[in-house]
Structure 1
Amino acid sequence: MPAAPTRHRGWRLVLIAGDRLLLATFRQSPARAVATATVTLLGGAASFAVPAILATAVDDILRERTGSWLWLLAAIALDIGLLIGVLLLGNNWYTQVTAELRHRLFGQAVDLGVQARELPPSADLVSRLTTDCTAVGRLLPTVWSGVTDGLVGVAAVVALALIDWRLVLIFGVGVPTVALAARTFLAGTTVLTARYRNAQSLIAGLLLDALAGIRTIQASGTADREAERVLRPLAELDSTGRAWWSAQGRAGWQVALLVRLIQVAVLAVAGVGVSSGRITPGQLLATVAYTPLALGVLSQVGLLATVGSARASAARLADVLALSSRPKPVRRLGVADGRVELRGVRLGTVLDDINLVIPAGTTLAVVGPSGAGKTTLAWLIGGLAVPDEGEVLLDDLPLRELPRHDLAREVAYAFEKPALLGETVHDTIAFGLPGVTRAEVEQAARVAQADAFVRRLPEGYDTRIADVPLSGGEVQRIGLAALVARNARVVVLDDAMAGLDSATEALIVAALARIQLGRTTVVVAHREDTAASADLVAWISAGRLQGLAPHQQLLTDRRYRALFQPDPQATS
C-alpha cells in the first residue's frame, strides 16, 4: 500500500494533485458541464423571479387587478421544470464521471499487475473505487448548485435593498463571522476526511486478511490477538471522526445561530416598514421569500463539507493514478505461434536473472521447492506481473508493448482457486468470449470433466453461480472449462488441478493433451509424473533457473531428484 501521503509529500502537494484531477473531470465533457451549469443558473433565476412576481400579484389583488397571477403561475411552472432538468443533468453528470473514474482506477490496477507493490490493499482500493469516485462524481452538480445559490443570494440581497435599504444592513453584521468559520471548517475537514478514510481502509484490509486465514486463526486459538490487531487503527478512526464532527458542529451552530438572528431581525424591520407604509404587503411577502435565499450565501457549510470531502477523495484517487504503469501498447499481436522468451528477468526478491526460451508447441513443467518463484514465473508469461528488469516476449514481441486484449486472447490461465465471474455457469465458462456458443461451452466442460455435475444443477448451464454451493474441485473444473473455451495458443496451468483426485486429473490431462496438441503449455508442477510427461522442465530454486532440460536429463542431479524423492545426502 502506498504510505500515507502525509508521510511523503505533504498534504499540500497531494491536494494539488487531487485538485488537478477535479479540474480534469470538469474538462472531460465541456458540453455536459455547460448544459448543467446553464440549466442550474436558469433554475436559480426562476427561483429568484417568483418572489418578485408574487409581490406584484398580491399588490395587484389589493388594487383589484388580476393579470399578474398568470405570470406567477408561469414562473412557478418554469421553476419546477428547470428543477427537474437540474436533477436529470446532475445525475447524468454524476453517473458518467463516476463510471469514468472507476474505469481509470480499475484499469490502472490491472496495468500495474496483481503483484504491484505500489497498489493499496484490496479493501482500500475498493474504498477508492466506491466512496472516493462517488464523492468526486457528485462534486460538479453540487458546486454549480452552490454557486447558483450564492448568485441568487446576492441577487436577493440586492432585491431586499431595493425594497428597503435598512434590510440589507442586517446582513453586514454576520458576513465576516460566517466567512471565517467557513474557511476554518474547509481547511480542517479536508485533511480529516482523508485521514478518516485511510484509517477505515486499513481496518477493512486487516479484516480481509484475517478472514482469509480464519481457519488458521481458529486452529491456533489466536482470535483475541487477531481481533486486537484488526481493531488497532480504531483509535485513529475514532479520534479523527470525533474531530471531524466537532469541526462541523462548531461551524454549524455558529452559522445556524447567526442565520436565525439575521432572519428574525430582517422580518422585524420589514414588519415595522409595513406599519409605517414604507413597504407594501406584497413587498413583505417578497421579503419573507427573499430572506432565506439571501441567507443561502451564509449557509454554505454543507457545500464546503462536500467540497472538502471531494478534494480529499480526489487526492486519494490521484495518488493511485499517478503510479507508474505499463506504457501504452504500440504493437499488435497477430495469430500467435506461442513462442515465449524471458530475457534477464528480475522481479523483486522473487526471481533473479531468468533467461528462458519456451519453443512454440512445447509443454513446459515449472518445478521447484515452495517459495522458489514458480507461480510468479507463470504470471510473467501472460503479463499478470511485470518484471522490474528484463523482458518477457511472445513471438519475439515484448509483452509491455502489446494490448491487454491481445494477451488475453492468446494466453489463457487456469488457477487452483479460480474466480467465477459470470452470473451463470454458461456465463462463467464463456466469460470474456462474446461469440462463444452453448455447444462450445458444453464441449469445454466435457474436456474439464465438468459437464456431468453441471447438468445435475437445478437449471443446468443456466444455473446462477450464486445460488448453488460448489465444492473446491467443482470450482476448479469450471475454471478449467473456461480455459479450454478460450482456445488460446499459450496455456498456463497454475496449480489448476492441485485439489482434484488422481482419476479426475488423469482424465483431464488426457483430454487436454488432445486439444492442446501444437499449443504452448506451461504447468506449475508438484508431481514427478507431471514433470516427466512434459517436453521440458524449468527447475527453479531460490529465484534462479537451475536447469532447463527434459525430466530424465535433470534426474542426474540429486538436488533435482530430492524435489520428488527426498535424499538425505542432497545439498541445498
Structure 2
Amino acid sequence: MITFGEVAKHGRGWLPLIGVNALIGSAVTLALPTILGRSVDAIVAGTGYTRWLVVAAALIGLGIAASIVDAFAGAACVAETTAWLRHRLVRHVVRGGPGGTRDFETGDLVTRVSANATDAAQAGPAAVTAIAAIAPPLGSLVLLAVIDPWLAAAFFGGVLLVVLVLWTFAKRTADVSLAYQETQGRIAALLSESLTGIRTITAAGTTEREEGRILGLLPELHRNGVVTWRILARSGAQAAVVGPLVLVAVLAVGGLQLVAGNITAGELFAASQYAVLGAGLGNLTGVLGELARAKAGVQRSAEVIAIEPVAHGTLALPAGPGQLTFDGVSVVADGNVLLDNVNLDLPGGITIAVVGPSGAGKSVFAAVAARLRDPSTGQVSLDGVPLQAVSRRALRSAVGCAFERPQLVGRTVGEAIDPHAVSPVRTLAAARATHAHDFVSRLPDGYFTSLRKAPMSGGERQRLGLARAWPAGRLLVLDDATSSLDTATERQISRTLTEDRHHRTRLIVTHRPATAARADLVIWLDHGQVRAIAPHADLWHDTSYRAVFG
C-alpha cells in the first residue's frame, strides 16, 4: 500500500531544500515591509535612508535567488518522485500477472502509470509550499501586534474569512479531481480497446459508432472540469472580495492610530504591506488545487500498488519427464465456474491435445497448467512438485507458453525470440525448429530487423511466439498457437512437436482434428469438466466429439 505521506517524503534531500528556500522567501517577505517602512521614516526625517534602501535591495536579490533555487528543486523533486513511483507501479503491474491486472483496463493502467503518477509526485513540493505559505500571514500577525495590537485585531478578523474560503475550496476540489482523473482513465481504456481492434472496426464500418463510444465520456469530463473551474472561480472571487476588506480594515485602524500619534508613517506603510500578505492567502488556491490532484493521483496509484504479486516458492524441479497432475482443480471467476473439479495424471514426454467447444475452459486449463493463473481450489503439480512451490526462475525455464495472438516484446526480431539474448545459436535453433527462420532470413536485416518495422502476417507472428516458447525444458503449453498457420506449415510444426527429440510434455489447445489426431492423448473438455480422455481415434466414434470440430 502507498500513502500520500510516503509519496511526499520520497523527495528526500529536495524537500528540505525546498523548505529552506520557502522559509528564506517567507523571511524576506516578512522583513521587506519593515525595512521599507524604516526607509520611509528615514526619508521623512531626511537622513540615514541609504542603508535601508541597500538592505531592501539585498533582500529582494536574496528572494529572487531563493525563488530560482526553489523552482529547480521543485522540478527535480517531482521528476525523481515520478520515476520512483512509476517504477513501483510498473513492477506491481508486471509481477501481478494476468490475474492481478484482470480488474483494470489497459488504457486505465497506462493513465495511472503516466499522468496520475506525475500528479501524485507533486505531493511533497505542494505540501511544503502549502505549509510554508502559512508563515507570512502568521508572521504578519505577530509583527502587526508588535506595531500596534489594534492593527493585529483588524488583520486577524479578515484572515479568518480568507481561511474559511480556502477550507471550502480544498474540500470541494479533492472529490472533483478524483472524478476527473477516473474519467480520463475510462476514456483511455476505451481508446486502447478500440486501437487493439482497429482492423475489425474499420472492416465492419463502425468507425463513427466507435468514435461516439469513446468520446461519449467527454461531456462527463467536461462537467468535472467545469465544476473544478467554477469552484476555483468562486473561491478566487471570494478571496478577491475578502482580501481588500482586510487591507481596508488595517488601513482604517492604522490611519486612526497614525492620527493619534501611536504609530509612524513608516509603520503604517509596513502595516499595509502585512495586510496585503494576509490577503494573499487567497492565492493559495493554486497550491491547494495541486494538493487535491496529488491526493487523487496517490489514491489511484495506491489501487495499483495493492495488486498482489504472484507468489513463487523456492524449490527447484527434480529430474523428470514433465508429468502433469491436476488434483481437484477448480477455477471460479465472478461467480462462473470455468473449471470444475479436474483430476488428471498426465504422463510426461507425450503430446496432449485439449479440445472442446467454445467456452469449455480450454484456455483456462492451459493457463492453470502453465501457472499463468492459480486455481481457486486444488493444485497443479509438475513432476510431483506443486507449481506454486517452484521458484520463478525454475518454473519459467521449465515451462514455455505460446498463444493465438502473441505479444512480441523487444527491439528486434531476434530479441522477440530470445528476450534474454542468451546466445545467437539458441535463437537460431528455436527459429529453425518452429520454421520461423524461413521468413526471418528474408527480412532486410534478418534477426536484427526492428520489430516495429518487420512486416509480418498473423501466422508469422505465431511462429515467433512458438520460437520464444521453444527453449522450455520440461513443458510446452500452446494455446491455439498454430491457428493462423497455413496447413503445410502447421503440419510441419505439428510433426516437430510430436517428434520432439527433447521428450518434453506438449499440451496443445486446438480446434483442428488433424492436430488432435497426431497427439498421443486428447482431453475433451465440456463446460469446465473433463468429459473424456483418450486417443483421438477412440473418441472419433462419438458424434458429439466430432461436432466439436464442426
1:342-381 correspondence runs (5 A): 342-348=326-332, 349-381=337-369
Deviates more, 1:246-255 or 1:172-181: 172-181
Rounded to whole Å, the distance in 1 between the matches of 2:439 and 2:49 is 86
Which residue of the partner structure matches residue 77 of structure 2? 90
1:43-100 per-residue CA deviation (whole Å, 9 max, x = no partner) reads: 1222234453797599599455598589759945873675266336523552354225
1:152-182 per-residue CA deviation (whole Å, 9 max, x = no partner) reads: 4423443455466676455334323322222
Say which of 455, 460, 479 aligns to 1:474.
460
Residue 305 of structure 2 is aligned to residue 331 of structure 1:
no
Which residue of the partner structure matches residue 399 of structure 1? 387
Residue 513 of structure 2 is aligned to residue 528 of structure 1:
yes
Rounded to whole Å, the distance in 2 between the matches of 1:357 and 1:120 is 35
1:113-152 correspondence runs (5 A): 113=100, 116=102, 119-152=103-136
Quickly say closer, same or farther: Cα 1:536–1:183, change in 2 above 3 A.
same
Deviates more, 1:328-337 or 1:415-424: 328-337
Residue 157 of structure 2 is aligned to residue 179 of structure 1:
no
Can you give the 5+ residue segments of structure 2 that lack an aligned partner in the other structure?
Answer: none
Rounded to whole Å, the distance in 2 between the matches of 1:462 and 1:103 is 27
State TM-score, norm by structure 2: 0.82
Following superposition, the deviation at residue 350 of structure 1 comes to 2.2
Which residue of the partner structure matches residue 382 of structure 1? 370
- The answer as to whether partners of 2:93 and 2:304 remain within 8 angstroms in 1 is no
Can you give the 5+ residue segments of structure 1 that lack an aligned partner in the other structure?
Answer: 1-17, 567-572
Rounded to whole Å, the distance in 1 between the matches of 2:68 and 2:190 is 49
1:55-454 correspondence runs (5 A): 59=39, 62-63=48-49, 65=51, 75=62, 79=66, 82-83=69-70, 86-87=73-74, 90-91=77-78, 93-103=80-90, 105-107=92-94, 109-110=96-97, 112-113=99-100, 116=102, 119-159=103-143, 161-162=145-146, 168=152, 171-213=155-197, 226=210, 229-259=213-243, 262=246, 278-280=264-266, 294-319=278-303, 321-322=305-306, 325=308, 328-334=311-317, 337=320, 338-348=322-332, 349-431=337-419, 433=420, 436-454=422-440
Which residue of the partner structure matches residue 13 of structure 1? none
Corresponding residue SS for 2:133: helix
- The answer as to whether partners of 1:345 and 1:351 remain within 8 angstroms in 2 is yes
Quickly say closer, same or farther: Cα 1:141–1:359, change in 2 above 3 A.
farther
Deviates more, 1:307-316 or 1:527-536: 307-316
Quickly say closer, same or farther: Cα 1:469–1:177, change in 2 above 3 A.
farther
Quickly say closer, same or farther: Cα 1:406–1:191, change in 2 above 3 A.
farther
Corresponding residue SS for 1:129: helix
1:178-227 per-residue CA deviation (whole Å, 9 max, x = no partner) reads: 22222222222222233333334334434444555555556666555555
Deviates more, 1:553-562 or 1:416-425: 553-562
Sequence identity of aligned pairs in percent?
Answer: 33
- The answer as to whether partners of 2:353 and 2:510 remain within 8 angstroms in 1 is yes
Q: Which amino acid aligns with 1:454?
A: V
Quickly say closer, same or farther: Cα 1:167–1:103, change in 2 above 3 A.
farther
Quickly say closer, same or farther: Cα 1:103–1:220, change in 2 above 3 A.
closer
Q: Which amino acid aligns with 2:368?
A: L
Quickly say closer, same or farther: Cα 1:261–1:423, change in 2 above 3 A.
farther
Rounded to whole Å, the distance in 2 between the matches of 1:150 and 1:302 is 14
Q: Which amino acid aligns with 1:436?
A: V
Quickly say closer, same or farther: Cα 1:261–1:86, change in 2 above 3 A.
farther
Following superposition, the deviation at residue 134 of structure 1 comes to 2.6
Following superposition, the deviation at residue 105 of structure 1 comes to 4.2
Deviates more, 1:211-220 or 1:536-545: 211-220
Quickly say closer, same or farther: Cα 1:377–1:42, change in 2 above 3 A.
same
Rounded to whole Å, the distance in 1 between the matches of 2:206 and 2:127 is 50
Rounded to whole Å, the distance in 2 between the matches of 1:173 and 1:329 is 62
Corresponding residue SS for 2:134: helix
Rounded to whole Å, the distance in 2 between the matches of 1:250 and 1:336 is 73
Which residue of the partner structure matches residue 41 of structure 1? 19
Quickly say closer, same or farther: Cα 1:266–1:448, change in 2 above 3 A.
farther
Quickly say closer, same or farther: Cα 1:427–1:171, change in 2 above 3 A.
farther
Rounded to whole Å, the distance in 1 between the matches of 2:248 and 2:454 is 64
Which residue of the partner structure matches residue 3 of structure 2? 21
Rounded to whole Å, the distance in 1 between the matches of 2:152 and 2:501 is 84
Residue 449 of structure 2 is aligned to residue 463 of structure 1:
yes
Rounded to whole Å, the distance in 1 between the matches of 2:541 and 2:194 is 44
- The answer as to whether partners of 1:93 and 1:141 remain within 8 angstroms in 2 is no
Quickly say closer, same or farther: Cα 1:86–1:209, change in 2 above 3 A.
closer
1:369-399 per-residue CA deviation (whole Å, 9 max, x = no partner) reads: 2222111111111222222222222333333
Rounded to whole Å, the distance in 1 between the matches of 2:190 and 2:68 is 49
Which residue of the partner structure matches residue 7 of structure 1? none
Say which of 521, 525, 535 aligns to 1:550.
535
Rounded to whole Å, the distance in 2 between the matches of 1:128 and 1:152 is 36
Rounded to whole Å, the distance in 2 between the matches of 1:84 and 1:195 is 29
Rounded to whole Å, the distance in 2 between the matches of 1:302 and 1:488 is 59
Quickly say closer, same or farther: Cα 1:164–1:546, change in 2 above 3 A.
same
1:238-266 per-residue CA deviation (whole Å, 9 max, x = no partner) reads: 43333232222211222244346656877
Following superposition, the deviation at residue 148 of structure 1 comes to 1.7
**RMSD of aligned C-alpha atoms?**
3.9
- The answer as to whether partners of 1:270 and 1:279 remain within 8 angstroms in 2 is no
1:102-156 per-residue CA deviation (whole Å, 9 max, x = no partner) reads: 1354156427356x4xx13222233333333332222122111221222344234
Rounded to whole Å, the distance in 2 between the matches of 1:85 and 1:209 is 39
Quickly say closer, same or farther: Cα 1:272–1:444, change in 2 above 3 A.
farther
